[in-house]
Amino acid sequence: MSRQAILLGLLLAAFVVAPAFAGPYLLSVMVVVMYFAYVGQAWNIMMGFAGQLSLGHTIYVGLGAYTAAALFVHFGIPAIFGLFAAAAVAVAAGSIIGALGFRFGVKGVYFALLTIAFAEFTRILFEHFTALGGTGGLFLPVGSRDSFDLIHLRGHPLMFYYLILAMCVGIFLLCRKLLNSRLGYTWLAVREDQDAAAALGINVFRAKLTAVMLSAGLTALGGVFFAFYYNNLFPNQAFGMNRSIEIILAPIVGGLGTLFGPILGALILTPLGEGITAATEAMGFKAAGIKQLCYGLSLLAIVKFLPEGVWPWLRLRLGLGDGEEGE
Amino acid sequence: MTIDLANQIITGLLTGLVYSLMALGLSVIFGVVRVVNFAHGEMTALAMYAAWGLATYLDLDPLLGLPLIAALLFCLGYGLQRGLIDSFISKPEHMQFILLVSMAIIMVNGSLLGFGPDAHGVQVSYGFDTYEIGPLLVDKVRLLAAAASLAVSLLMMLFFQKTMTGKAIRACADNLVGARVIGLDVKRLYAVTFGIGSACVGAAGALLSMLIDVMPPTGPELTLLAFIIVIVGGLGSMGGALLGGMLIGVSEVLAGYFLMPSMKGMFSFAILILVLILRPQGLLGARK
Amino acid sequence: MSPSPPPLLLIEGLVKHFRGLRAVDGVSFRVEAGEIVALIGPNGAGKTTVFNMIAGVFEPDGGRVELEGRSLIGLRPDQVCRAGVGRTFQLVKPFGNLSVEENVVVGALRWTHEITKARAQAREVLDLLGLADKRRQPARSLTLPDRKCLEVARALATKPKLLLLDEVMAGLRPAETDRMVETFRRLNRETGLTIVLIEHVMRAVMALSQRVVVINSGQPVCEGTPEEVVRDPRVLDCYLGEEPL
């Protein structure tokens, strides 16, 4: 077993046994860590693997969250079915954005702007969507907090804790498998050089579209979790530009295109933000924005001093070799 | 009804001209340095806060404070380019983007910490004066702001056409290798360009402070607005920024007039999507 | 009853203009399976444009491009590759952040879905081209001659019927050129690989090609064995002012 696998096993074990020791507050922070690790991993498929910068990625969180929540609130459809619809809606949205962008050769910054435009358009649309609550928000009926009802995703915080943990493990394994698959190589080739990739028989359009669709669908599942965990949805926080930026922070800080990056990034950023908020509150002043300010500063520091992200740097320091995909 | 609509259109045109000035800064920076300033609206918001501060504490009219604010923003832009952005010029686009977004996050939340979440606006003594031109009513502040925007835009175009530095900067934009060969100090020229683009932002911010209130989320909103304008007009084209600003200004009031004011943004983003897909070089941009 | 089989590659009356400039104007030649053909001509003669039209990068404004009797016109570059044409780029395009081996694996995945098979093929090709000991390096760390080699390795890994080589010997030392020439000859002899190469290094053209097609200003000049071509006054004419052959 490689040292990386051991490290990963230890991390997983820590998260599995944590609820036995940690209080509710710490658990809720760990849920946020895992949530950002999850959506960061999903975003990483599109940007880190296939090289397509999506800056409106929260559109998939929002669509997934709203779809599953609306089905539950209005039709009583349990989350376990709603998540398929959620993923389907997000995949459809992703294919539209991707197909339009890639077919018409919208590249680089322009593509990033296109994704923002779609996300913002959708945000304003949902603000006027009165059936889904509009700006007033969509609220899920809060069920018993003692049950462990996975079908309806209602119940104890511990259930949500282990659910998001399972999702993180799942997406990690999936991404690992993808990186070692033909599709993964195809994406990496497209990311590095599209002309060369095409000359080697790769259908560049299809490769990019697959990445967007998969990333969108997986991100939407994160959205479903978000909706049922927090029980309320507002267009501004489901589709806002800030959310899109939050999604991309962890994988960038951790290391773009790496499997560990999103996890490490979330492990660094969320506790950092929480710690700073707690510290300022302990000092007796309410400083809205201080957490984000620190995110901004750490992002700046990372991009300036560790542009590859923390993980590639740490991996060398820990002597874990240079090939994360291994052989 | 039609008079009202005409008044709305005039309002849109005049406001649009101020937006144009802001977008002009973005366009100039992109056209020369080839960096997309994702912190553009945040810088505009900083300028608005500066205008508010000068008006509130020194009783200085934003029109008179404008040169000072523009100079401040010039220094900010020059410094940022020299100290930070320059080392990212040859890096991949997404790295530049992350750098500028991190700056934007710092600016937004810095202003939230410094000024709080409340809206700040400047009330000038002539704030409610209007001119009657035939049946039309034109706000005095808006007219002054638009005129000042045009003047600054014109000044900048003159700078690029007539001065040696302006010509040197255009040479860098045209042919970077050639510019280096003839011994131009590209680093300095880039910093000057970023400074000038930021000065536009400063001027636009000072003028905008009389028209709209500023609060922390104003920054990101203005960034997106500036993007819409320059993409529609043509990224890197000065005339395009002017045209785009007026178009967006008018389309926003029209969307507000015929639909709902809160839906005007949707309209702008729809235009952005269409332009990106169908004419990515913008209305006035040259096709590569 | 059945007519003689179509050639592996048929180029007929190929035309391409860019903004009124006739970059390629009526180029025709054919390549039989198992042949090695060189396409030569002065700078700007339109050689790379011909390659790009075969490879699906540009669509010709006129003429035919057929592989084993099947038209390649209108196909995208990836479809041309899957039809059996491998190519290299004159300005090399390595996947810089991938290892040398991974670069070649991408090529091998053209014909297999199994990573292990692709990896085995990649190692074989890297052995053949003398890049085996560098296989774990990131491609961006390679020197230019090695990058050229990597271009060839990637294209070879796709198992093409026809290999298009765009100036892969430029910038190589004579010994390296000789080694690469030897590699191509062996491949041609042992696997029947057909090669069309654009080359300025006449040492390689003379040693490698069985037939040479000369074009100038987008137009065909002449065609023949290497020995015939270098003696042809029309060929010398079009190289006047250029470096001597």
Annotate C32-68 with b (16+ C-beta within 10 A) or e (fewer): eeebbbbbbbbeebbbbbbbbbbbbbbebeebebbbe
Is chain C touching chain B, with at least 3 CB–CB pairs below 8 Å?
no
Would you say residue B281 lies in a domain? no
**Dist. CA A207–CA C113, nearest whole Å:** 15
Q: How far is CA C183 from CA B126, B144, C85, C143, in A?
A: 84, 76, 19, 20
Mean pLDDT over the full length of chain A: 90
Question: pLDDT at position B235, please?
Answer: 78
Is the Cβ pair C97, A181 closer than 8 Å? no
Is the Cβ pair A105, B84 closer than 8 Å? no
What residues 199-218 of chain B have any CB closer than 8 A to a CB of chain A?
Answer: 216
Higher pLDDT among residues A277 and A89, named by residue: A89
* Low-confidence spans in chain B with pLDDT less than 50: 288
Is the Cβ pair B113, A288 closer than 8 Å? yes
Question: pLDDT at position C43, please?
Answer: 84
pLDDT band at A324 (very low <50, low <70, confident <90, very high): very low
What interface predicted TM-score (ipTM) does this complex get?
0.90
Q: Domain range for residue B141? A: 15-218
Q: Is C62 helix (H, G, I), strand (E, B) or coil?
A: strand
Is the Cβ pair A185, C154 closer than 8 Å? no
Question: pLDDT at position A48, please?
Answer: 93
**Dist. CA B53–CA B177, nearest whole Å:** 44
Would you say residue B287 lies in a domain? no
Note the residue count of chain C: 245
**Dist. CA C94–CA A184, nearest whole Å:** 17
Number of domains in chain B: 1
Interface test with B, best of A97, A109, A310 (most B CBs within 10 A): A109
Q: Tokens at residue A193, please?
A: 């050089």
Check: CB of residue B197 under 8 Å from CB of residue B37. Answer: yes
Check: CB of residue C232 under 8 Å from CB of residue C212. Answer: no
Interface test with B, best of A120, A126, A247 (most B CBs within 10 A): A120
Q: Which residues pair with B46 in a beta bridge?
A: none
> What count of other Cβ atoms lies within 10 Å of the Cβ of residue A72?
23
Question: pLDDT at position B288, please?
Answer: 45
Name the amino acid, one letter, at B107: M
> What count of other Cβ atoms lies within 10 Å of the Cβ of residue A64?
33
| Ordered structural domains, chain A, with CATH | 3-317 (1.10.3470)
Question: C29, C26, C30: which is closest to C8 by C-alpha?
Answer: C30
pLDDT of A57 above 90:
yes
Is chain A touching chain C, with at least 3 CB–CB pairs below 8 Å?
yes
Quick one: DSSP state of residue B90? Answer: T
pLDDT of A141 above 50:
yes
CATH of domain C1-74+201-245: 3.40.50.300
**Residue of chain C minimizing CA distance to A179:** C115
Q: Subunits that touch chain A (at least 3 Cβ pairs < 8 angstroms)?
A: B, C
Which residues in chain B have their CB less than 8 angstroms from residue A55's CB? 97
Which residues in chain A have their CB less than 8 angstroms from residue C110's CB? 200-201
Interface test with B, best of A46, A102, A113, A299 (most B CBs within 10 A): A113
Question: pLDDT at position C1, please?
Answer: 52
Name the amino acid, one letter, at A79: A
Is chain B touching chain A, with at least 3 CB–CB pairs below 8 Å?
yes
Question: pLDDT at position C21, please?
Answer: 84
Is the Cβ pair C155, A200 closer than 8 Å? yes
Question: A182, A312, A192: which is closest to C150 by C-alpha?
Answer: A192
Interface test with A, best of B34, B86, B88, B102 (most A CBs within 10 A): B102
* Angle of helix B93-115 versus helix A290-305 axis, rounded to 10: 150
Q: Which residue's structure tokens are 């005049």?
A: B14
pLDDT digits (tens, 9 = 90+) for A261-308: 999 999 998 888 888 888 888 887 777 788 888 889 988 998 889 888
Which residues in chain A have their CB less than 8 angstroms from residue C78's CB? 197-204
Is the Cβ pair A193, C94 closer than 8 Å? yes
Question: pLDDT at position A156, please?
Answer: 83
pLDDT band at A326 (very low <50, low <70, confident <90, very high): very low
From first CA to last CA, the distance across chain A in angstroms is 12
Residue B101: which of A100, A124, A245 has the nearest Cβ? A245
* Low-confidence spans in chain C with pLDDT less than 70: 1-3, 240-245
* Angle of helix A157-179 versus helix A3-21 axis, rounded to 10: 170
Question: pLDDT at position B256, please?
Answer: 82
Q: Tokens at residue B189, please?
A: 């020229």
Express the helix, strand and coil content of chain B in percent, nearest 5 each.
Answer: 75, 5, 20
Name the amino acid, one letter, at A88: A
pLDDT digits (tens, 9 = 90+) for B248-257: 999 888 888 8
Question: pLDDT at position B136, please?
Answer: 80
Segment holding A158, helix H or strand E: helix A157-179
Question: A15, A78, A67: which is closest to A222 by C-alpha?
Answer: A67
Annotate A5-33 with b (16+ C-beta within 10 A) or e (fewer): eeebeeeeeebeeebeeeeeeebbbbbbb
pLDDT digits (tens, 9 = 90+) for A149-206: 777 788 788 899 999 999 999 999 999 999 999 999 999 999 999 999 999 999 999 9
Which residues in chain A have their CB less than 8 angstroms from residue C155's CB? 199-200
CA A295 to chain centre: 17
Largest CA distance in chain C: 57
Which residues in chain A have their CB less than 8 angstroms from residue B102's CB? 296-297, 299-300, 303
pLDDT of A78 above 80:
yes
Residue ranges with strand state E in chain C: 9-18, 21-31, 36-40, 62-67, 70-71, 85-87, 162-166, 194-198, 211-216, 219-224
Question: pLDDT at position B53, please?
Answer: 93
Q: What are phi and psi of A9, to 5 degrees?
A: -60, -40
